[in-house]
């Protein structure tokens, strides 16, 4: 083999790093070939391109987000299992220290930015327009751009594992540790550029959904008639709009430090690393509320549907959502109480952090009161919702313990913290996202997921969760610090670590059951022919499953909160079926391949800057500019579905009244 | 088309509204743009915060007093603020349906914007010639990044305004082009406001304090 090839392989393909990289290289190659072969064999290229890649339909974009989020949950979960395997016994050498650093970095980054974020965006897209009686989001083309930016950013980030090396400065990537001098190589650049690209998409999504909800609600849907999930999207979008610019600046300045040689956060030449930490957490703390607020929205929908009651305290639910979104900005310094900011600053942030518990408590009690004397059906979404309550209560209580600034000096950066944030992020966000996935799955695909396999998944995941994380609270008190690659045998941590690892495996089995459940249900899942399999309350269930691509043939008029439930109660459900005479041609946006190419151009730019190949970076940016100019000059981006076609579709769905 | 209303918009009789708001398809885009401006404002807010934290961290290198050139930034300010005014006049011409005046005012706005960028480039080149590069100190990193981010916004705005001018020239004043004229001017005024803060916090305070 020529020596230049060997050099290339050693530097970029990392062939000296051992069997894990080789295995991954081979696996990625085989999967890629498999996908290409399958698509070609079944003649699916054209279908993929026309129906999915160029689509601007919010429902399809939502499904693509969901698929990516589940794949990323697998990747982040595999990282977690590797970490726990390494920590199962003392003095372990399953992973090298360097690999351990890379894996905890990618685990955290993927779970927050490439799993939780696309998962909430999946639900935003699938649910919001249907719930407010709209035909699409305010900016369908921009929505497609957001998706493709996320998609290509995720690809860029994951590519680091097999091409050039993964980031290893943790998901917070504090300088000066993440500066060029201490962390050369492409890994950290991958982190910075992938986050920048997906962050742009997230900001656009926040803007898009806020505009959608403010401007596109069906007539009669006043703000205080909006379903609570939609309200939670308002709250999350507001936080996205106000938080993500801080992340964009923090990582842009760090990128400049690494690529252009500036001195924002270096110790040399007057840089101030704490400024990065401030900017990062000015985004980072609100970020956890961004992902948990939509989960709160899911719980509100699920509890009302499966307790067959109107949500208790609707007004206080809305107020608490908005209050959480405001308080989220006054807590960021609790991530570095030990910085030395002084007692006054720490007191302010300690009290603000504890205050978040108040509106959150209001919400939890409202869910409990909604269940009280309700006729509860123990479906899968309801199970996850009920499991969330005690889990989040414990997580919230340990959060208040962490918010006590003087005590935080004891458990700062210990496993107590690890246990706390996994408890709120899994028990709050992931439980909610899974509940939401089960709840709206029939609406997306037209069939239910199998209950029996889902229960296996539920119990494995939940029991595994407590087995995994409860010991970590104790380990934290016993002095075990986060990000430790291994530990000596005489610390008294052995048993608890082993138990924790066993718990992680049990959770992994739970995830596998979800995969089996999805595969099994595609063939055997109960088909939903009514469009309303749960006997639910809000407008999306008035449509067939899956909804036609124009959503509503005639935009409904909303007269009440839980309008679909009220109409069913009053025997007026048929009023939401369109009359032939009312159907008009429907104005729709045209599909476009440009969002895909724009994402690709961003990928090329990001890839170029990762390796300091500036010509490639600027080539990619030029591609972005070309896409934007072409869009600015575009005029024929819409069309009308003829009324006859709508009538035909509605008739075939049996919906004409 | 009988019902030429974009996906899901309620039908509103809107003849008493300004031109660019009359078509609901266009008016929702204006709302979206306001929301974008909020995010852009926060972007600049973070850059200002960073600048304020490190502006005294000159590490023995050039200080604000030694590099800020009063005639230069005064002229820049004059050009940009005047261009914001002429941009406003172009919106007024658009509302009056006067295509020729609209095109003229847009062209003047672009010319003033180009003059602004020209002076900024001259200032940056002069600074670098003095050894005041952004690799020299944290102060200079923050200065060039903050002012340069504004400058690149202005440059993008110039390309955008030129594209808008072409479209108005070709298509006249329609609901779509009037929205485009309105939005690009919103952007332009926003950059003007940001410049007022740069002028005060960076240049004036830098000379005085």
Instruction: Round to whole Å and give the CA distance between A523 and A648.
Output: 28
Write the residue in B8, B24, B145 that is nearest to A135 by C-beta.
Answer: B8
3-state secondary structure A200-269: HHHHHHHHHHHHHHHHCCCCCCCHHHCCHHHHHHHHHHHHHHHHHHHHHHHHHHHHHHHHCCCCCCCCHH
On the question of pLDDT at B5 being above 70, the answer is: no
Which candidate from A248, A263, A629 shows the least CB-CB separation from B137? A263
Tokens of A558: 């909303």
Cβ contact A227:A538 at 8 Å: yes
pLDDT digits (tens, 9 = 90+) for B22-39: 888 889 999 999 999 999
Q: Which two tokens mark A395?
A: 């997580």
Confidence at residue A575, expressed as pLDDT on a 0 to 100 scale: 86
How many angstroms away from the CA of B149 is the closest CA of chain A?
Answer: 11
Element (H, E) at A344: helix A343-355
Q: How near does any CA of chain B get to the CA of A271, in Å?
A: 5
Selected for mutation to probe chain A from B9, B140, B141 (highest A CB count within 10 Å) is B141
In this predicted structure, the answer to whether residue A249 has a pLDDT above a threshold of 70 is: yes
**Contacting residues of B for A258, CB less than 8 Å apart:** none
B7 vs A629: CB contact, 8 Å cut-off? no
DSSP readout, chain B? Answer: -TT--BTTPPP---TTS-GGGSSHHHHHHHHHHHHHHHHHHHHHHHHHHHHHHHTT--TTS--HHHH--HHHHHHHHHHHHHHHHHHHHHHHHHHTT-HHHHHHHHHHHHHHHHHHHHHHHHHHHHHHHTT--TTT-HHHHHHHHHHHHHHHHHHHHHHHHHHHHHHHHHH-S-HHHHHHHHHHHHHHHHHHHHHHHIIIIIIIHHHH-
DSSP code for A540:
G
Comparing CB atoms, the residue among B35, B49, B141 nearest residue A263 is B141
**How close, in Å, is residue A241 to chain B by CA atoms?**
6
B57 contacts in A (CB within 8 Å)? 269-272
- Chain B 135-194, residues with CB within 8 Å of chain A CB atoms: 135-139, 141-142, 144-145, 159-160, 163-164, 167, 176
User: Residues of chain A with pLDDT > 70: what percent?
Assistant: 100
- B1, B7, B183: best to mutate for the A interface, most A CBs within 10 A: B7
**A248 vs A12: which has the higher pLDDT:** A248
Q: Which long-range contacts (CB under 8 A, 24 or more apart) does A369-372 make?
A: A369/A312, A369/A313, A370/A303, A370/A304, A370/A307, A370/A309, A370/A310, A370/A311, A370/A312, A371/A303, A371/A307, A372/A312
Give yes or no for residue B103 having a pLDDT over 90: yes
Whether B46 sits inside 8 A of A269 (CB atoms) is: no
Chain A residues with beta carbon closer than 8 angstroms to that of B32: 138-139, 142, 207-208, 211
Q: Which pLDDT value is given to residue A9?
A: 81
Measure B107 CA to nearest chain A CA, in Å: 18
pLDDT, position A1: 62
Contact A207 B176 (CB under 8 A): no
Bridge partners, A447 (sequence order)? A527
Q: Which of A321, A363, A139, A339 is nearest to A237 (CA)?
A: A321
Q: Please state the φ and ψ torsions of residue B195, each to the nearest 5 degrees.
A: -65, -35
pTM of the model: 0.95
**Of A246, A260, A264, which to mutate for an interface test with B (greatest number of B Cβ within 10 Å)?**
A264
Q: Looking at residues A520-544, what average pLDDT do you find?
A: 94
| Residues of B in Cβ contact (< 8 Å) with A129 | 8
pLDDT at A378 over 80: yes
Does any CB of chain A come closer than 8 Å to the CB of residue B13? no
Whether residue B9 is predicted with pLDDT greater than 80 in this model: the reply is no
Instruction: Report the SS3 class of residue A527.
Output: strand
CA contacts within 13 A on the Cβ side of A603: 20
Taking CA atoms, what residue in B is nearest to A275? B50
CA-based nearest residue in chain B for residue A211: B32
| A633 neighbourhood in chain B, CB within 8 Å | 163, 167
Whether the per-residue pLDDT at A349 is higher than 60: the answer is yes
User: How far apart, in whole angstroms, are the C-alpha atoms of residue B3 and residue A133?
Assistant: 17
SS3 (DSSP) at A414: strand
List, for residues B44-97, the tens digit of each pLDDT value: 999 999 999 999 999 999 999 999 988 999 999 999 999 999 999 999 999 999
Quick: pLDDT tens for A614-629: 999 999 999 999 999 9
Instruction: Using CA coordinates, name the residue in chain B closest to A269.
Output: B137
Tell me the pLDDT tens digit for each residue of A74-129: 999 999 999 999 999 999 999 999 999 999 999 999 999 999 999 999 999 999 99
Nearest to A544 by CA among A460, A445, A634: A445
Mutate to test the interface with A, among B43, B49, B138 (most CBs of A within 10 A): B138
Of the residues A129, A208, A587, the best mutation for testing chain B's interface (the one with the most B CB atoms within 10 Å of its CB) is A587
| Helix/strand/coil for A485 | coil
Contact criterion met (CB < 8 Å) for B8 and A216? yes
Separation in Å, CA of A118 to nearest CA in chain B = 20
Chain B, 35 to 54: residues with Cβ < 8 Å from chain A are 35-36, 38-40, 42-43, 45-47, 49-50, 53-54
Distance (Å) from the C-alpha of residue B116 to the closest C-alpha of chain A? Answer: 22
Q: How many Å separate Cα A657 from the centre of its chain?
A: 40
User: How high is the pLDDT of residue B150?
Assistant: 97
Query: What is residue A26's predicted lDDT score, i.e. its pLDDT?
Result: 86
* Rounded Cα–Cα distance for residues A520 and A516 (Å): 6
Q: Which of A262, A586, A633 sits opposite B163 (nearest CB)?
A: A633
Instruction: Check residues A23 and A590 and name the one with the higher pLDDT.
Output: A590
- Measured between beta carbons, which residues in chain A are less than 8 angstroms from residue B138? 263-264, 266, 269-272
B7/A270 Cβ within 8 A: no
Interface test with B, best of A57, A133, A137, A138 (most B CBs within 10 A): A138
Q: Could you tell me if B15 lies within 8 Å of chain A, comparing CB atoms? A: no
pLDDT class of B15 with cuts at 50, 70, 90:
low
Which chain B residue shows the shortest CA-CA distance from A142?
B32
pLDDT (mean) for A278-298: 96
Contact B54 A270 (CB under 8 A): yes
Q: 3-state secondary structure string, A79-97?
A: HHHHHHHHHCCCCCCCCCH
Flag if A245 and B39 touch (Cβ within 8 Å). yes
């Amino acid at each position: 083999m020529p020596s230049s090839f060997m050099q290339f392989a050693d530097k970029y393909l990392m062939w000296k790093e051992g069997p894990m990289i080789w295995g991954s290289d081979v696996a990625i190659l085989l999967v890629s070939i498999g996908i290409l072969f399958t698509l070609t064999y079944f003649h699916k290229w054209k279908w993929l391109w026309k129906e999915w890649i160029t689509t601007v339909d919010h429902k399809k974009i939502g499904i693509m987000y969901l698929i990516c989020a589940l794949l990323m949950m697998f990747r982040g979960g595999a990282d977690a299992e590797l970490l726990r395997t390494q920590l199962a016994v003392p003095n372990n050498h399953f992973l090298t220290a360097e690999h351990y650093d890379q894996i905890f970095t990618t685990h955290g980054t993927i779970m927050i930015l490439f799993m939780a974020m696309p998962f909430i965006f999946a639900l935003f897209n699938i649910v919001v327009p249907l719930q407010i009686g709209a035909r699409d989001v305010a900016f369908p083309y921009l929505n497609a751009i957001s998706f493709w930016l996320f998609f290509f950013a995720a690809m860029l980030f994951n590519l680091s594992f097999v091409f050039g090396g993964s980031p290893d400065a943790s998901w917070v990537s504090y300088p000066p540790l993440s500066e060029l001098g201490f962390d050369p190589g492409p890994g950290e650049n991958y982190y910075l550029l992938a986050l920048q690209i997906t962050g742009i998409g997230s900001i656009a999504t926040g803007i898009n959904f806020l505009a959608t909800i403010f401007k596109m609600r069906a007539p009669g849907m006043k703000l205080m008639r909006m379903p609570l999930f939609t309200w939670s999207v308002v709250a999350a979008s507001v936080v996205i709009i106000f938080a993500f610019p801080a992340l964009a600046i923090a990582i842009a300045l760090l990128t400049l430090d690494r690529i252009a040689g500036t001195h924002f956060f270096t110790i040399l030449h007057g840089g101030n690393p704490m400024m990065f930490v401030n900017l990062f957490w000015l985004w980072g703390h609100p970020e956890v509320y961004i992902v948990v607020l939509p989960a709160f929205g899911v719980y509100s929908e699920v509890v009302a549907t499966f307790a067959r009651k109107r949500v208790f305290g609707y007004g206080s639910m809305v107020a608490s959502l908005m209050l959480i979104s405001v308080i989220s900005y006054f807590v960021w310094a609790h991530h570095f109480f030990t910085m030395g900011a002084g007692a006054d600053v720490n007191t302010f942030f300690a009290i603000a952090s504890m205050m978040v518990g108040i509106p959150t408590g209001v919400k939890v009690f409202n869910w409990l009161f909604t269940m009280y004397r309700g006729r509860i059906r123990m479906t899968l979404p309801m199970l996850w919702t009920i499991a969330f309550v005690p889990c989040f209560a414990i997580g919230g209580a340990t959060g208040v313990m962490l918010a006590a600034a003087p005590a935080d000096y004891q458990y700062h950066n210990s496993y107590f913290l690890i246990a706390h944030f996994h408890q709120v992020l899994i028990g709050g966000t992931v439980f909610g996202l899974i509940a939401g996935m089960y709840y709206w799955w029939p609406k997306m695909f037209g069939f239910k997921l199998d209950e029996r396999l889902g229960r296996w998944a539920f119990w494995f995941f939940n029991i595994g969760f407590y087995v995994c994380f409860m010991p970590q609270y104790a380990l934290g008190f016993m002095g075990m610090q986060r990000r430790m690659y291994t530990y000596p045998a005489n610390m008294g941590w052995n048993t608890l670590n082993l138990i924790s690892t066993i718990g992680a495996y049990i959770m992994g089995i739970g995830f596998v059951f979800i995969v089996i459940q999805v595969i099994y249900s595609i063939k055997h899942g109960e088909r939903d022919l009514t469009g309303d399999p749960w006997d639910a309350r809000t407008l999306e269930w008035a449509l067939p499953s899956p909804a036609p691509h124009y959503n509503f043939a005639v935009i409904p008029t909303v007269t009440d909160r839980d309008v679909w439930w009220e109409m069913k109660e009053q025997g007026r459900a048929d009023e939401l079926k369109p009359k032939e005479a009312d159907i008009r041609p429907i104005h729709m946006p045209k599909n476009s391949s440009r969002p895909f190419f724009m994402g690709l151009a961003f990928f090329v730019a990001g890839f170029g800057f990762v390796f300091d190949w500036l010509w490639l970076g600027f080539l990619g940016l030029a591609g972005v500019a070309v896409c934007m100019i072409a869009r600015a000059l575009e005029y024929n981006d819409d069309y009308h579905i003829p009324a006859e076609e709508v009538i035909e579709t509605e008739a075939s769905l049996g919906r004409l009244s | 088309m009988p019902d030429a209303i974009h996906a899901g918009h309620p039908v509103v009789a809107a003849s008493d509204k300004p031109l660019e708001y009359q078509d609901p398809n266009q008016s929702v885009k204006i709302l979206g743009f306001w929301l974008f401006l909020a995010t852009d404002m926060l972007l600049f807010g973070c850059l200002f915060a960073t600048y304020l934290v490190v502006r005294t961290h000159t590490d023995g290198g050039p200080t604000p007093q030694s590099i800020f050139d009063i005639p230069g930034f005064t002229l820049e300010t004059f050009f940009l603020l005047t261009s914001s005014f002429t941009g406003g006049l172009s919106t007024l011409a658009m509302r009056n349906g006067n295509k020729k005046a609209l095109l003229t005012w847009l062209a003047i706005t672009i010319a003033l914007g180009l003059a602004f960028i020209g002076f900024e480039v001259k200032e940056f080149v002069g600074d670098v010639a003095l050894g005041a590069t952004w690799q020299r100190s944290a102060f200079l990193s923050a200065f060039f990044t903050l002012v340069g981010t504004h400058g690149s916004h202005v440059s993008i705005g110039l390309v955008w305004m030129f594209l808008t001018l072409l479209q108005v020239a070709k298509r006249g004043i329609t609901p779509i082009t009037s929205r485009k004229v309105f939005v690009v001017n919103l952007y332009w005024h926003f950059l003007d406001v940001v410049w007022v803060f740069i002028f005060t916090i960076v240049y004036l305070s830098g000379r005085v304090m």
